[in-house]
Chain A
């Protein structure tokens, strides 16, 4: 059983008409802290995407849907959901940003770890920390706290970041169909995750990003 939330942003763009980006979030039905955090991060990301879309003269529509439809899917988290997304990708063309699905990249999927991907260097490391201040992280953490009244966890940051990636890819492509997005995401594209270094997908469609050593004052781990 999949739980899905769909966000639709109409993005103003050059060309014959506005680009419509429809995002579908697919998470396990089980209600866990991590799934709630991802959903909150996605919601935050959509709100900021709406603001950016409005800047370029567009209207924005937000809908909720129980079905995992659409051309751009964000989701994963557990094996069942990741496998379901993978099967769906084999059945029809769509783009999915796989949150916490391990290294199962395909032509359709761009993987996005929710925690450091093993290895001695990443022991005790985190992807995000609510105490981060540098590189605009403080501003992002503050906006999240002001909006939701709690710190931005790594899962929430990942949800926010996944929306940002989808949005910026669609804006760059000036389209949101799977073929256009695949082309943009496959080319070297730099994303800003408020980590002071460009985030980009490697040739295996895995998001490469800086890590932090956990603690009261999280320390940056140089790649």
Chain B
């Protein structure tokens, strides 16, 4: 028994190692052209395009790198229509293989690391949904703040966090009971949210506040509120380095990517990227950050060590989010 468990562990470790080593690929949701661009980050070129039947925005990669999940919405804002869904795309076959319930106008969501559950913000309904990916059933619909937006599941899988733009709030969901266990307030119009790899810190961008708020995830106490630049950059997308050493914030209107210290207390560097960077993701090796630039219709690939844009790759029309395999 022990020998077979060891064999499984070795196989998983080897597969994980190969996965980390192979060329890294970015998947970019283009909300106006209704496509997903697949970008080889080493070659800095688009290697494929997947058309989708709706307006794609939120995009996430499963932990095993096999599935790309994309939030699609239709042309009927504020009403649930036939195209409102979160779809799963087989990353190897580049084909939609699953469709999951989402509520109206799905925008942001996140997955548990074990790939079993999805948490989505239902902006118009003022709720968050927990979805079982195997059965494609909504397990719970939870009342959160007004106009929920950003979603992040902690790497330990115990908590899901949902920001709400009108309430200026963050709701904390216990993923075992699927209940809201806490709410707290941040600066005006919170958008993006990300959790540190050890699940101990939470980072929340506030678009109108022009800030990044750092929260102790154990106590839900705010430990730092950092004004980014002059505050007119409208920070949106947030990502944390795989080692937890720094945080990356896409500041849409300013056209910049801010590097912030892990304690959330200071801006380490500001890198000029494309126009209106919205989504941001970091490669698994932590060497590159990628921004989806909604107005310049490209992505910026930023070398984290040198803090320089090493490539700009044109993608579809209206790049919104980015996920990395």
Contacts and interface: CB of A to CB of B under 8 A. Distances in A.
Contacts of B150: none
A192 B165 CA distance: 9
A192 B167 CA distance: 10
Interface string A74-115: 000000000000000000000000000000000000000000
A37 interface: no
B231 A198 contact: yes
B123 interface: yes
A142 B183 contact: no
Interface stretch (A20-28, A51-59, A121-129): A51-59
Contact of A52 (B124, B169, B189, B234): B169
B78 A55 contact: no
Interface stretch (A131-139, A150-158, A177-185, A211-219): A131-139
A116 to B, nearest CB: 21
Nearest to B184: A56
A138 B209 contact: no
B168 A168 contact: yes
A190 B145 CA distance: 19
B297 to A, nearest CB: 18
A139 B189 contact: no
Interface string B150-188: 000000000000000111110100000000000111011
A39 interface: no
Nearest to A139: B147
B145 A192 contact: no
Contacts of A207: none
Name, among B144, B166, B234, the residue most crowded by chain A CB atoms within 10 Å (CB to CB): B166
Given A136-B165, A138-B78, A168-B188, A55 B171 contact: yes
Name, among A57, A139, A194, the residue most crowded by chain B CB atoms within 10 Å (CB to CB): A139
18 contacts: A48-B166, A51-B126, A52-B146, A52-B166, A52-B168, A55-B145, A56-B183, A136-B165, A136-B166, A139-B123, A139-B147, A142-B124, A190-B187, A190-B210, A192-B168, A192-B188, A196-B234, A198-B231
Interface of B: 77-78, 123-124, 126, 144-147, 165-169, 171, 183-185, 187-189, 207-210, 231, 234
Given A52-B167, A190-B187, 20 more contacts: A48-B146, A48-B167, A51-B126, A51-B145, A52-B145, A52-B169, A55-B144, A55-B145, A55-B183, A56-B184, A136-B165, A139-B147, A140-B166, A142-B78, A168-B168, A190-B209, A196-B234, A198-B208, A198-B210, A198-B231
Interface of A: 48, 51-52, 55-57, 133, 136, 138-140, 142-143, 168, 171, 190-192, 194, 196-198
